[in-house]
Amino acid sequence: MNLSAKFSELQNRGEKALVLFITAGDPSLEALPEISEALQEAGADILEIGLPFTDPIADGPVIQASSQRALDRGVRPRHVLAKIAECNFQVPVVLMGYYNPALRWGLSEFAAECKSAGASGTIMCDVIPEEAGDWISASKQAGLDTVFLAAPTSTPERQKVVCESSSGFVYAVSRTGVTGAGESAAASSEELVSQLRKYTSTPICVGFGISQPDQVREVCQYADGAIIGSWLVNELASHWEDSAARKTLLSQIRELKGATKS
């Protein structure tokens, strides 16, 4: 299923998207199929899978540490794509990473490999849309959506370019800074989503700092979905191997999904 079809399905059901981020290779790459299946069963509408990278500048300490652990285990992009191809996905998958590995691989080849592995789209965190023409072209040729980020500090001109360059959804960053769980959804995110709606009819999802059902419920009043990353990455790294803790985690994800329903 592609991203557009998923958002249409959710709209028909009166729901918003629960987007869950995980780092490939943490707690282990071998666990990725089991983790992804469990998260889907618990309510994930879209899975973001992070490709470990040595300099994840958009990410806070939790995801940085997760990425480094995966790298220390020897996880590389080729290994991730091979493992993703083994997974049973019933929801769209978005690969989140950085430009250098794709550039070294070859943009067209990398895009084709992502699509072949089962991805619906990508997020290249360190590529601004004004300089992403080659990647957008390669992605379109491969049938991949390209998701770009808009921050509260983005100018109207940048917001317009982000919206025009994004397909699948637009990633609205709820606050300045890096990823990390927070106590409340930033008030600036509602204003940002409102501004972005002037330039696009593409769905808009809000991320950075979201970890609680109340935050998801708040965000879903004005956005098309909520993205949860750091909290989940930390929980998976700390508790996935413990069956009781795993059951609690999946129950919490069901509560997060319940908060997306009107």
Active site residue ranges: 48, 59
Expressed in percent and rounded to 5, the helix, strand and coil fractions of the chain are 50, 15, 35
Under a CB-based contact definition with an 8 Å cutoff, are residues 131 and 102 in contact?
A: no
Q: Which residue has tokens 């983005």? A: 154
d(CA 86, CA 29): 11
Under a CB-based contact definition with an 8 Å cutoff, are residues 173 and 150 in contact?
A: yes
DSSP symbol at 223: S
Q: Can you list the pairs that 71-75 forms with residues at least 24 positions away whose Cβ atoms lie under 8 Å?
A: 71/25, 73/25, 73/26, 73/28, 73/29, 75/24, 75/25, 75/29
Under a CB-based contact definition with an 8 Å cutoff, are residues 236 and 27 in contact?
A: yes
